[in-house]
Structure 1
């Protein structure tokens, strides 16, 4: 059966490497939608597209909710009745200040909107296409998998309250804790539709957001993410895991 995936924030870092693997990896997707805020400034994606006709580059600023219906329609025009199998909410942002002395209410609100509200509302917008994929008669009963229908929220170890031993990073931590709460509720609410929902820490990755001291390269993180996601089943919905698929305490 066809396998379609949408990746937000795909112009660089983890999103770019996820896209690269999804179009040309061992088990490539039939259709990959890669979104970025500025489609005229995503050369790496365009270079991949030159040799992969299964890649579609679409414009999306995740904070511009008014653009969601247009995006959903663009995806629907391609997948038609097959729906969307996997939505990867990867786009995110980090705060500039870390300490209590510099955090502002504007930082708190903006990061919460980007890292928590946007994944929820984008998932809501794509629900009809996710439900269409989940209803494929090739899948029987309550079997859940990323190949049937799933939402993967790229989170962070900083989304764990239990793991917070160093304080600081108020805006970023709060937004990622919120994303975990969203994941938990979505997994419960979408279980009757057989839609798997997982929150995953990609590891400390050497990206613009993660910094040069990150422990793993973006391509390694992306490979681990997709490998772990391929193993997710019913028992993993509404959970918070690392990039190996191992549980993280909330």
Structure 2
């Protein structure tokens, strides 16, 4: 892949993905990392200072009215080559668990970050994604041509839900799964692949200290999966190590 844009890179999995990509022997020529506030993303800024292929742009995925302007900034970076890969990583999960504790504003806020933001950002960047797909028509469906990857969770799987609870997070991730499935159908004729990726239960601020997996293991697997994407992955649900999951 020539270019990749990843949202939510100030910490956690987003920052881990950037670290993994810059160390890769075949690192993308352009890596665009977003964060809400550059001044609070010191480690990301340090990476950009020592890796000229890393570009930092500010983005709040809940402020959809800023997406058109943001797409213009991305266009200046990728130029006529377009954007090969969009990785919608930014996510949010409130602490509420059971039906007795869930609040309407938690549902709405989580849906805005985990579902509405990724979908509307994909829409805003679609001209650049199509440009990349057209520029790489000799490549098969996948990240070498053009791909949209939405970070999801096995907690958004209906068939794997056997404990209940976590209403905001579960519902928002089930929704982004459905959005991804529709994108995979709507964009296939344009040469754009769309798929969902579950990163595993990882030691991050969201995953908590009890999580069994470290960030490096998760992101290394996800980068490998992104590189290996092909038509069989289109509209499907995978975890970090390439295992296919059930909806």
- Distance across 2 between alignment mates of 1:5 and 1:24: 15
On the 8 A contact 1:34/1:55 being kept in 2, the answer is: yes
Correspondence for 2:66: 67
On the 8 A contact 2:136/2:145 being kept in 1, the answer is: no
Correspondence for 1:168: 165
Correspondence for 1:211: 208
- Runs (4+) of structure 1 exceeding 2 A deviation are none
- Distance across 2 between alignment mates of 1:61 and 1:171: 19
Secondary structure of the residue aligned to 2:75 is helix
Correspondence for 2:19: 20
List alignment gaps of at least 5 residues for structure 1: none
- 1:185 pairs with 2:219: no
List alignment gaps of at least 5 residues for structure 2: none
- Distance across 2 between alignment mates of 1:50 and 1:81: 25
Secondary structure of the residue aligned to 1:126 is helix
From 218, 221, 226, the equivalent of 2:218 is 221
CA shift at 1:114, angstroms? 0.8
Correspondence for 1:130: 129
CA RMSD across the alignment:
1.1
CA shift at 1:138, angstroms? 5.6
- Distance across 2 between alignment mates of 1:21 and 1:132: 26
- Distance across 1 between alignment mates of 2:24 and 2:227: 13
Q: How many residues are matched?
A: 247
1:174-222 alpha-carbon deviations (Å, 9 max, x no partner): 0000010001000000000110101010000000000001111111111
- 1:146 pairs with 2:143: yes
Correspondence for 2:238: 241
